[in-house]
Every structure is written in structure tokens, then in C-alpha cells.
Amino acid sequence: MLDIHSTLESTFGFSTFRAGQEEVITRIIEGKSSLAVFPTGSGKSLCYQLPAIMLPGLTLVVSPLIALMKDQVEGLQRLGIQARNLDSTLTSEEVFEVFDLMKNGVLKVLFVAPERFTNPSFLNRLKKTNISLLAIDEAHCISEWGHAFRPDYLKIAQAAQSLGITLKLALTATATPKVSEDICKSFQIKKENFIQTGFKRPNLSLHISQVKEEDRDEALLKKLLTHEGQSTIIYVTRQMTTEHLTTYIKKSSSLKVRSYHAGMSSEKRAEIQEEFMSGGSDIIVATIAFGMGIDKANIRYVYHYNLPKSFENYVQETGRAGRDGKPSECHLLACESDLRTLENFIYTKRPSQSAIESLVYACLSSPEVVALNRYNLSISFDIKTEVIQTILVWLELGGYVKSTGWRHGTYDITLLRKMDQIFAGHSDERQVFLKTLFLSCKKNSRNPNKYKCIVEEVATAMNEDAGKVSQSLQWLETHGDIALKPSQYLMLYQAAEQGLETSKKKVTEEIEQHFAHWEEMELGRLDQIIDLIESPDCIEGKILSYFGEESEPCGKCSSCLSERTQKLNLAAKNAKELATQELQLIRGLHKESHSSLRAPRQMAKFLCGQTSPATTKERLTTKHEDFGVFQDYPFEDVLLNCEVVIGK
């Protein structure tokens, strides 16, 4: 049997391990579940990739980002390792190919999103698979004390237990002692198998300076001009800021700069990322959508044009500098106006009570299975899709609903055989069913071999169960009769007995309490960032203390060098009162009767410059002159006045 050192060199081409890797890998090979807390860019993925080769069965990796999964799969395949990913972008044919590799024991590494554990069919397949290791990336998402809590992660721990998976590896770059404790408890990891290499990055120097909003662009440009040609990331909060800042830098200098944000097409983002990686552009102005999985070692400078949302975000983002170990600088331009923006981001993520109640009623009004599309629910109830998913998981974990799987709502069908060949060999009853199915689909007027099946409509027309329609199409595809292109992902839920018996009002109140707790946690994290900025203490020391480590003053940050001349007083900003004319603006906007601005919380989000699914669909965020008119006002004050004008 190969040892880990020879496998490291022969397969991965490395002669030595990085800090902590050997310790973690040894424990995994010995069958000891472990938690690895390593800094960003320190090689966490090797901790499951190397054992995957040496362990007999499948290594199942949970990762929250599709782009990261695909990058890792491609990297492993280049090394000759059988690796695949399962995600919503795959066709039915590609999914079944992955399942065949699992069934045959050929697959060594499979990447899935946490949401995959809501699929009973997938869980049933896992029961028949020899799983040697479950690796959970971004494991801090399991803890309500973490900065990126995702209830879906709680189901991973439940699934591991029900599937009898004994060997688990949790990985994260940002875990406080409390979060680490939660992770170990959830995945039954012993204290002695918790390996933390430390958050100290000796080659990074951290600097914080106070700037006025009107001077910030110029202050940043002056800094950029001192290191022209060096790889640099500038992090901003809003998508529109990326465009504004990129335009300003281009007009004011010859610096090679591009903007990057989640509002761009995936093709455009890939093009910009590749250009930066290859050195075609020196500077990226980006939202936090940029950076996850970026493996560029020579980033010399990271700027925070806007305040980071938390210590965890700050560490992750600054951690992308200097991965080659050479000296690198991180600058935070602290501006008072950012505080209101970040507070409003927190407050506006919370749905209105009526929206929560509508979703609760949709799930708990009938004992029948309901098929829910997150996008459609998002528009109908004006709740962001990720928040919809969070509420659904809370309902499930509370015992009010149970997930019964998922299916696609629409299929584009291409006939691969003639109709009479497709029907041949089936019983008379089955032939009638299939003929009725195709007659109920929409035929393509230009191509007689193409159909569109909207599953719910076809099922209603046939007086059949929608699941049976989907299964029949998939059966035809597996037998080579048709090719399917699925779309519209539907989640299937059924109200549990507890959900049917409990008052909808009580369930709604419970979910509202969850959001109130989340708000409190997020505002607390923002307060810690303010304290970091205002404190005269060593920046590195305060960060290390937050993550449970002790250190001496670093001697090179702006605090240690005494570069800060005054206290920032970010928390001292006074709330603005809404004047009479501003109340009239709310009344006027309400009279326009936009369907997406009926509720006070919807109106307040819009006025504070926060997009929502409904206002985006109505194009109010780009076309209406009043969008964001109160973006510098406290959200709670705007909401209160909207309630006065509209009524609660």
C-alpha cells in the first residue's frame, strides 16, 4: 500500500506537505473524523483529495458553489482520478452517467451541493454506495453562530448519521471557537482531532485609514498608482460601485482594470477571471462574488473600498493576497457612509410577515404533496430564493413539513425514434397512456420531432399524477427513445401531521423569531468591525483574538505604526428624520399602486436602494427615479414611516 508521502509526490507532484495537511490526512487514513481550520489558500482540498485515492470507496464532498466543484473535478480528472459533480446544470443523461459510475464502484470523488441531501432518491442511491469519507467544505455554514449559516448544512449531519457514514472531514477557513465547537458536535468529531494551523499571515500587512466619501475615489487611485502593474483586488459592496469605480480609474489613469460582479453573465465573469489570472488585467474591482476558488498566488494588494460585513469576510478577502508567501498589503478605506448601507443590507434581507405567512400557508394548507419552484415563489412572495430555501429548511427541521424529493417542471423533448417504434412492445393500456401524454404536450411547429412538456399542465390534462408523467419521460430517455432537456427545478414537500395541526400564525411567528435572531447576530458582527476600525490596538492581534488565538503586536499594521490620527466614530452617525416632503414622497409612490410595493417592508426596501425579486421583475430598480432615494437613512426609520403611510 502506498504511503501518503509517495502518493503526494507521484499523484500531486508535491515533495512536502503544507502546515497541518499531513496531520489531518494521517488522521483520516487512520479512520478518525477530523475538523481542519486552515487559512484561505492553505490547501484544504488536498486533505480529502489524497485520502480519496487511498481509501477503498467513494469520497463524497459537499461544496456550496457549482463553479468550485467544476474546477476541482477538472483538476482531479487531469490527474487521472475519477471525479464528477452533481448539480442543477446537468442533463438527465449526465446525471445517470454519474449514477452508473457510483453503482459500478468506479467513481472515487463526487462533489454535491448541500441541497442535494433534500433529495430522497439521491439518499437512497447513497445507501447502496460504499462511502469511505464524507468531506464538508465551508463547514462553518452548519453553525448558527457562523457568519454564513445555511440551514441546509444541518441536514448533512442528519444524513451522515442515517447513512451510517462514520468517517467525516469538516473544513473551513473561518471558524471561531464557538463555531468549531458546533461543527465538532454536529459531526461527532473528538476534540483531539480538531486541527487549526492559525490565522496569522506573517507576510500580510494590514492598514486601515479614514476617508470622507467625497475623497475616497481619489485616495484609492493615489494608492493604486504607487504599485502599477501589480495584481490587485478591490472589494466593494454594490454591483453599481464596481462599474463606477472601474470607469473612474480608467478615465483617470492608464491602469489595466476590469469590474466583476454576480449581475454579469457567467460567460462574461469567466472571461474577466481568466484575463486577471493570466495577467491581462492587473486590477479587479469586484463584489465578494469574486475570489472563491481563485488560485492566484501573486496578488500583492487587496483593498476594501467599502467596509467588510464581518471579521470572517475580512479574513477571507484579505487572505487572497500573498499566497506565494511574499510581502503583500491589505488596505481598508473606512468611510462613515458605508455603515448605513451594511445595516440596511441586514434589515432588508428579512421578509415581511405577510410574505412568510403566505409561504407557510402554501406548505401547510393541504396533506397533499406540493411542488414548489423557488423562482416562482420568490416573485410571488417577494422573497429572495436563498431566503425561501432557508424558510423551507426551518419548516422541515421544525417537523412541520417533510421533503419528498424533487423533479423538473418542464422538459424539452426530442424524439430519437419514430412514434410507432416508441410505442411498440408496450401493452395496449401503456400505449394509450404514452399517446395521450404526447398529445397533451406542445408540439414544435418547426420541428415535428420536438415537443415541450409542462408537467403540471400535462398531468392535469391527463388526470394523472405529475410524478408519473416525469417518470414516464425519464424511462423513455433511459431506453433511448427520446432525449430530454429539463428545466424548472421543483421541490416536493408534504405537510407533516404536526404542521397540519399547528396554527399557521404560530409557525409564522417562529420563523419571524429565527429572522430576528439572525438580524441580531449580523448586527453584532458589524459592531465588531466598527470596533476593529476605531480601536488603537494591533489589527492583527484583534483578529487573532476573535478566532481564539493569542499574539504579540505585529509591528507593521497601521495601528502599530501609529498611522491613525483620530477615532473614526462610525457608530456615532445620527439617524435622519423623515421630513414632511419625504412622507409625501412615500404617499405618492404608494398611490402609483405598484404590485411589488404594497407592503411597508417592500416599500422601505425599495426606498433604501435594496433590490427584491418583485421590484427587479417590474424593472423599478432600474427605471424608477425614487429607487434608493433614502439609501442613507436608517432602514428601521424608513420602515416605521412606511407603516404610518401604508398601514401595517
Q: How far apart are CA 344 and CA 341, in angstroms?
A: 5
- CB-facing half-sphere around the CA of 542: CA atoms within 13 A: 21
| CA 144, 148, 153, 157 torsion-angle sign | negative
Indicate if the pLDDT at residue 168 is higher than 70: yes
pLDDT at 293: 56
Backbone angles phi, psi at 506, to 5 degrees: -65, -45
Question: What phi, psi does 369 have (nearest 5°)?
Answer: -70, 135
Name the superfamily (CATH) of residues 204-335+535-571.
P-loop containing nucleotide triphosphate hydrolases (3.40.50.300)
- For 440-524, strand residue ranges (E) read 442-443, 450-454, 482-495
Distance between CA 407 and CA 499 in Å, rounded?
23
Q: Would you say the C-alpha torsion 307, 309, 315, 318 has a positive or negative sign?
A: negative
Q: Please give the C-alpha separations between residue 338 and each of 152, 175, 634, in angstroms, as whole numbers.
A: 31, 25, 12
Q: State the pLDDT at residue 310.
A: 93
In sequence order, the β-bridge partners of residue 372 are: 491
Beta strands across the sheet bearing 83-86: 83-86, 109-112, 58-62, 131-136, 168-172, 34-37, 194-196
Within the chain, which residue ranges are assigned CATH 3.40.50.300? Answer: 4-196, 204-335+535-571
The reported pLDDT for the residue numbered 208 is 95
Is the model's pLDDT at 278 over the cut of 70? yes
CB 637 within 8 Å of CB 595: no
Which residues, 6+ apart, have CB-to-CB distance to 178 below 8 Å? 143, 145
Q: Which residues contact 536 (CB under 8 A, 6 or more apart)?
A: 559, 564
Q: Is 151 exposed, middle or buried (0-12, 13-18, 19+ CB in 10 A)?
A: buried
- Reference 151, options 466, 449, 514; nearest CA is 514
* Torsional sign, CA 550, 554, 558, 561: positive
Alpha helices for 104-193 (secondary structure H)? 120-127, 152-163, 177-186
Report the pLDDT averaged over residues 151-164: 88
Kindly give the interhelix angle for 600-607 and 635-646, rounded to the nearest 10 degrees.
130
Q: Which three cell numbers stand for residue 98?
A: 454519474
Beta carbons of 170 and 288 less than 8 angstroms apart: no
Distance (Å) of CA 68 to CA 82, 122, 174, 339, 634: 17, 21, 18, 31, 37
Q: What is the pLDDT of residues 473-484, one digit of tens each?
A: 989 998 899 999
Dihedral sign for Cα atoms in the order 148, 150, 154, 157: negative
Over range 73-78, report the average pLDDT: 92
pLDDT for residue 167: 98
Distant-in-sequence, close-in-space partners of 410: CB < 8 Å, separation ≥ 6: 452, 453, 454, 455, 486, 487, 488
Q: Give me the amino acid identity at 595.
A: S
For residue 401, the tally of other CB atoms under 10 A from its CB is: 24
pLDDT number for residue 119: 75
Res 571: pLDDT? 45
For 434-452, b/e burial (b = at least 16 CB within 10 A) is beebbebbeeeeeeeebbb
Say how many C-beta atoms besides its own lie within 10 A of residue 507's C-beta.
Answer: 24
Q: What is the pLDDT of residue 583?
A: 83
pLDDT at 467: 87
Residue whose C-alpha cell reads 454576480 in the numeric block: 262
Q: How far apart are CA 469 and CA 466, in angstroms?
A: 5
Cell for 150? Answer: 445555511
Per-residue pLDDT band for 574 (boundaries 50, 70, 90) equals very low
Residues 6 or more apart whose CB falls under 8 angstroms from that of 475 comprise: none
- With pLDDT > 90 as the criterion, what percentage of the chain qualifies? 61
Report which secondary-structure segment, H or E, holds 330. strand 328-334
How are strands ordered across the β-sheet holding 283-286?
204-210, 328-334, 301-304, 232-235, 283-286, 257-260
Residue 424's pLDDT band, with cuts at 50, 70 and 90, is very high
Give Dmax over CA atoms of the chain in angstroms.
87
Choice among 44-53, 132-141, 299-308, 479-488 with the minimum mean pLDDT: 479-488
Amino acid at the residue 58: L
Name the phi and psi angles at 276, rounded to 5. Answer: -65, -45
Q: What pLDDT score was predicted for residue 25?
A: 97
Q: Which residue, among 350, 394, 35, has the nearest Cα to 179 in the 3D structure?
A: 35
What is the 8-class DSSP label of residue 150? -
Percent of the chain whose pLDDT exceeds 70:
96
Query: How much is the average pLDDT of 579-602?
Result: 86
For range 558-585, the mean pLDDT: 64
Report the distance separating Cα 206 and Cα 78, nearest Å. Answer: 37
Instruction: Name the pairing type of β-strands 58-62 and 131-136.
Output: parallel
- Digit-coded pLDDT (tens) for 3-60: 899 999 999 999 999 999 999 999 999 999 999 999 877 889 999 999 999 999 999 9
Q: Tell which CATH architecture fits domain 4-196.
A: 3-Layer(aba) Sandwich (3.40)
pLDDT at res. 405: 78
pLDDT tens digits for range 499-519: 999 999 999 999 999 999 989
pLDDT band at 407 (very low <50, low <70, confident <90, very high): confident
**pLDDT average, residue stretch 278-285:** 92
Residue 447 pLDDT level (bands cut at 50, 70, 90): very high
Which residue is listed with cell 453553525? 143
CA–CA separation, 624 vs 189, rounded Å? 53
**Lowest mean per-residue pLDDT among 387-391, 515-519, 569-573, 576-580:** 569-573
Q: What is the mean pLDDT of residues 597-603?
A: 89
Look up residue 565 and give its three cell numbers.
490620527
What average pLDDT does the chain have? Answer: 90
